[in-house]
Amino acid sequence: MAKLASLTRFGVLIFIGIPAIYLFSNWVRKNLSKKYSAQQGMIAGKIILYSGIFAVGFAILNELGFKLTHLLGAAGIVGIALGFASQTSVSNVISGIFLMAERPFVVNDVITIGGTTGQ
């Protein structure tokens, strides 16, 4: 009986969880694209999509009997190593996200950076 319950939860995660994540991320993307820019809507939708798939993936692994504490410990160590290795790149990506969100420049603005002026 326990196997049937586990199999049912596994099926629900696969056949309902993943499509629900796709539908929700598309809904967020469409609604935010109307209110903000299409690019901001796309980024928010992708963040929700990948986070949801990650969460469902861990739930599926849990249903299959994997010890998540070991996986999360290893993922934490790998995350710290990647964080140190890609510090500059991630900093640039975050700066780009802030620039997109705040929109300090618009088309046809004249900008001077380091003695170079451009439009």
d(CA 59, CA 64): 9
The pLDDT assigned to 104 comes to 81
Of the candidates 41, 11, 27, 22, the residue with the CA atom closest to the CA atom of residue 101: 41
What does pTM read for this prediction? 0.64
CA 93 to the chain's CA centroid: 13
Residues 22-32 as b or e (16 or more Cβ within 10 Å = b) = eeebeebbeeb
Distances (CA, A) of 63 to 24, 47, 69, 73: 23, 24, 14, 19
For 60-80, the pLDDT digits (tens) are: 888 888 888 888 899 899 999
Confidence at 48, pLDDT banded by 50, 70, 90: very high
Domain residue spans in the chain? 1-66, 67-105
